[in-house]
Amino acid sequence: MSEDSAFFSGPDSLAERHETAAPRLVHASRNGWSEIHVIDRGGRLRALKALKPGFRGDARYETLLRKEYEIGYSLSHTSICEVYGFVSEPGLGNCIEMEWIDGRSLADILAERRPDKATARKWVLQLCDALAYLHAKQIIHRDIKPANLLVTHNGKNLKLIDFGCSDADAFTVLKGPAGTASFAAPELRNGADVDNRTDIWSLGKVIALLLPGEKKTAARCTRTAREERFTDVEQVRDALLRPRRWPILLACTALVAAALYLFLHQTAVRTDDPAPETPAADSVDVETVDELFRQATEMIEGADVQ
């Protein structure tokens, strides 16, 4: 006997709460000019990015909010927070209405523990895809850092957020220094012209945090001279996906050594010790060779990328 599916409701059901829900503050930038609220829109949660009370009505910051909206609205990528519209919300003023991402910032996650290597690599590659998409549209994020990378609870996927410091060729505002000092490239801190390699610097900082075994790739991303960095994000991705040669070479060497050891020892046993102890000696040889093969297999299977 089957039972029909249904929604369960009570005196304080989720639907009833949402019907009367007002925007709720969930985050306010400590040193910046914006804050984030969450609101229900017809049964779907949305994020509203508004100016903090002291900045509302200020022409410069209203222009920056509008610029962030126009950049965000032009984007459509699975690893970038989606922007839906520019709205005026009672009590908040002008707001950017965005996708609500149910997750945690990478900064919070790293404060507790470092993720396993497979998960960390997944997040780095998702960030690479998002940045390659941005750069193809001549947009520079300028504030890549763990706090601006959200990881969804469902699926553990990475989402790039906060385009408040972003820039594109068509805009004339916010061309000076911006971003977060510890993740900002030298040219960004100095107020010089920026390009896609400015984001690559910050990407390198994230790689160093998530994938400590990728020191060579992270170091090239973060070279002071821009011309010495990777030219584009695709090159970074290729470097991350390129198989390491040394672990495979070491594994092959171990396999050859195991085969040679077995051959030489069995030859010595047949020549010098035809006694009944031979089976025991052979069994020791097998255990030794098995261990060498096991180590070699682990080196091949665990070969990292660079």
Catalytic residues: 143
User: How wide is the angle at C-alpha 100 spanned by C-alphas 34 and 96, nearest 5°?
Assistant: 40
Residues 6+ apart with CB under 8 A from 180: 143, 145, 147
Q: How many angstroms separate the Cα of 268 from the Cα of each of 125, 258, 278?
A: 52, 15, 11
Q: Which two tokens stand for residue 266?
A: 């069995």
* Spatial separation of the C-alpha atoms in residues 160 and 78, rounded to whole Å: 9
Buried (b) or exposed (e) across 187-215, using 16+ Cβ within 10 A? bbeeeeebebbbbbbbbbbbbbbbbeebe
Nearest to 127 by CA among 216, 235, 201, 237: 237
Cα gap 72→66, rounded to integer Å = 10
Closest CA to 82 of 105, 100, 102, 104: 100
Q: Residue 203: which of 304, 151, 132 has the closest Cα?
A: 132
